[in-house]
Structures are given as C-alpha cells and as structure tokens.
Amino acid sequence: MSWRKFLIIPKVISLQRRAPREVGMRWNEYWASVRQTGAHGDVLWDADSPREAQRYLSLLRQHSDMSLPIIDVGCGNGRLTRMLADTFPFALGVDLAPNAITRAAEESHGIGNLAFRSLDMTAPAVGQQLAAELGDANVFVRGVFHVLDRSARQTMAANLRDLLGVRGTLLLAETDFPGSSLDYLEQLGATPTHLPRPLERAIAAGIPQPTRFGNAEFAGCFPADQWQPLVTEATVIGTVPMRGMDDPGTVPGFLAVLRARQEVPDNPAST
Ligand SMILES: C[S@@+](CC[C@H](N)C(=O)[O-])C[C@H]1O[C@@H](n2cnc3c(N)ncnc32)[C@H](O)[C@@H]1O
C-alpha cells in the first residue's frame, strides 16, 4: 500500500465542507442529489446484482415464515423492497430520509403489496409502534448497521427485536472492510487525481463513513443470550461499477440470519 493514498485526503475534506451538520439531513440531501439509480447510476451500493439478491432470497425461503410481512429497514430507493414484495405477502420499506422514500415510491409505482414510510429506526420504541400495526414480521437490513454508531446500533437492534416478535426472522447484510478508511476509498476506486462519481456524491453529502461490521460487532449488537443465529457467514456486498462502465465492484461483507430468543434470562442486577 503506497503513501500516495494520503493525497486523497485534501479532496475528501474539500468536498465535505458544505455538508449539513445533522446526519439525517446529510442522508436526505444525499438522496435529493441522486439523479439515476441502478447498475449505472449514482448510488454506490445500488448494485442490482442478481447473484446477491438470489442469496438473500434463498436464505429467507429456508429460514423464515413466508406468510409474514417483511420490513426492509433503511430501504433507500427500494430496489430490494421490490424484490421482497415479489416473494412475501407484503413488504414495507422504511428509511430515515424522506427523499429516499419519495424516490422508492416513484420507482415502485403500480406495485400493490408494498408501501414506504419515513422512519428513524434508531428512535426508542419505534419497533413496538410498528409491531402494534403489523404484528410479527420478518426484517431485512442491508448496509445500515455499518453506518451507525455504537449506541444507535443497540437501539436499532432492540427495535428489530420488537418487530420480529415470536415468529419473525431477521436477515442482516453489512460491509466488513478490514483496512483503514483510506484503503476503503482506494478499494472503491479513489486515486489522488480521481474519485468515481458515485463515491464523490456520497462524500460530498457527508453521509457517515461505513465502519466494520463483522463477527465481533455482530456479537456486541445481538448477544447470544437474546438472539439465536441460524446462519453467519462472510459475504460480498455489491457496488455499482467504480473502475469502468461494466465491472461491478464488491466490498467484503458479513451476513447473518437470526431470530429473537423468547426466554431471555433475567438481568441479575434488576432482581
Ligand atoms: C447504505 S444505504 C443502504 C440502502 C439499501 N438498504 C440498499 O442496500 O440499497 C443506508 C440507508 O439507510 C438509511 N438510514 C440511515 N440511518 C437510518 C436510520 N436511523 N433509520 C432508518 N434508515 C436509516 C439511509 O437513509 C440509507 O438509505
């Protein structure tokens, strides 16, 4: 790895100068700036990869109750919500950014068994509120925990637990890049003289940089006394082409399928 990667830093700092302070606003401005989605679009992670989608569907078919609705948490432009609606009786996509929800709804026009809603899934008790409306549900999450800080991850995990209830299954897929932030930028095609457009757009909006989400982070958010993992595996998360028009990128990732344990041991401190 060469020292030249450090020359990427000034470009990143200069691009981020005008980003809003608040993280929700950053996501919302990011989605407002998107002109095109899909394999050759502006959205870095919107890979539209049949192989990745098939892996998720195959795991869900194997491990979830397919008669339940499914909630796509952090749904973005709703590509994967639409895939889930093809397979489950009803799919709800939720996202912090109202502009993501507007785009998802536009891209899903005419599909009957799906809906979108703007929701912060790290807000306390939001899981209970949605569960009161939908009953037990399956949950799908791709690329959201890796942009949350530690405390937000804990609140989101508690909300997901409420959404699952007794019968639901959670499928979680996150990036787990092992190097530094600069190594990650290089992996995504950044050089001292060039940033691929989808990457430039994400940096300019100031959306949170992904951090590792692998076995250790998973165990911190989903402790074994409260959660029952059915599958954990290394995977790859697709990106749109970053180095040429036709060559989709990938980032190392982590995938888990799990259920909420129903008999959680009493907290000794509370007795
Ligand atoms: C990396 S994108 C992944 C989008 C989508 N899951 C996909 O794979 O195409 C992360 C998404 O999570 C949303 N998000 C971030 N924080 C959130 C929160 N607290 N509650 C709900 N959505 C959130 C962002 O607006 C963004 O659309």
Look at residue 241 and tell me if it is in a domain.
no
Say whether both 44 and 160 belong to one domain.
yes
User: Stretch 136-140: mean pLDDT, rounded?
Assistant: 98
Q: Would you tell me how many other CB atoms lie within 10 Å of the CB of residue 173?
A: 27
| Whether 147 and 44 share a structural domain | yes
- 196 found inside a domain: yes
**What domain range is 193 assigned to?**
1-33+181-207
Alpha-carbon distance 98 to 108, whole Å?
15
Question: Residue 124: left if φ>0, alpha if ψ -120 to 50, beta else—which one?
Answer: beta
Q: Which of 118, 140, 144 to mutate to test the pocket of ligand 1 (most atoms within 8 A of CB)?
A: 144
Q: Are residues 48 and 18 in the same domain?
A: no
Any domain includes 115: yes
Domain count along the chain? 2
Q: For ligand 1, what atom is nearest to the CA of residue 148?
A: 16
Q: Report the C-alpha gap between 96 and 42 in whole angstroms.
A: 19
pLDDT digits (tens, 9 = 90+) for 51-81: 999 999 999 999 999 999 999 999 999 999 9
Q: Is residue 224 part of a domain?
A: yes
Q: Which residue matches tokens 């990011």? A: 30
Let me know if residue 96 belongs to a domain.
yes
Share of the chain above pLDDT 90, in %: 76
For residue 16, the CA-to-ligand 1 centroid distance in Å is 19
Model confidence band, residue 271 (pLDDT cutoffs 50, 70, 90): very low
Helix (H, G, I), strand (E, B) or coil at 26: helix
Pocket probe mutation, ligand 1, options 71, 92, 95, max atoms within 8 Å of Cβ: 95
Same structural domain, 159 and 58: yes
Task: Copy the structure tokens of residue 205.
Answer: 């909006």
Nearest to 234 by CA among 223, 220, 249, 250: 250
- Give nearest CA residue, ligand 1 atom 17: 96
Whether the predicted pLDDT of 227 surpasses 80: yes
Is-contact 167 139, C-beta < 8 A?
no
Q: Are residues 111 and 5 in the same domain?
A: no
Q: How many other β-carbons are positioned within 10 Å of the β-carbon of residue 265? A: 8
* DSSP string over 107-139: HTTT-TTEEEEE--TTSTTHHHHHHHHH-S-EE
- Most confident residue range from 11-20, 179-188, 200-209, 228-237: 228-237
- With respect to residue 268, please indicate whether it lies within any of the assigned structural domains: no
CA nearest ligand 1 atom 24, residue: 74
Residues 86-107 have pLDDT tens digits of: 999 999 999 999 999 999 999 9
Residue 224 sits in the same domain as residue 187: no
- Beta pairing class for 170-175 and 248-260: antiparallel
C-beta of 242 in contact with ligand 1 (< 6 A): no
Based on the domain organization, do 67 and 17 belong to the same domain?
A: no
- Tell me how far the alpha carbon of residue 210 lies from the centroid of ligand 1, in angstroms: 11
Higher-confidence residue of 266 and 196: namely 196
d(CA 196, CA 174): 22
Please tell me if the CB atom of residue 75 comes closer than 6 angstroms to any atom of ligand 1. Answer: yes
Which CATH number goes with the domain that contains 110? Answer: 3.40.50.150
Residue 231 is classified by DSSP as E
Is 46 in the same domain as 128?
Answer: yes
CA of 236 to the centre of ligand 1 (A): 18
22/141 same-domain check: no
Indicate whether 137 and 121 sit together in one domain: yes
Q: What is the pLDDT of residue 131?
A: 98
Average pLDDT, the chain: 92
Give yes or no for residue 74 CB within 6 A of ligand 1.
yes
Q: Output the CA 77–ligand 1 centroid distance in Å.
A: 9
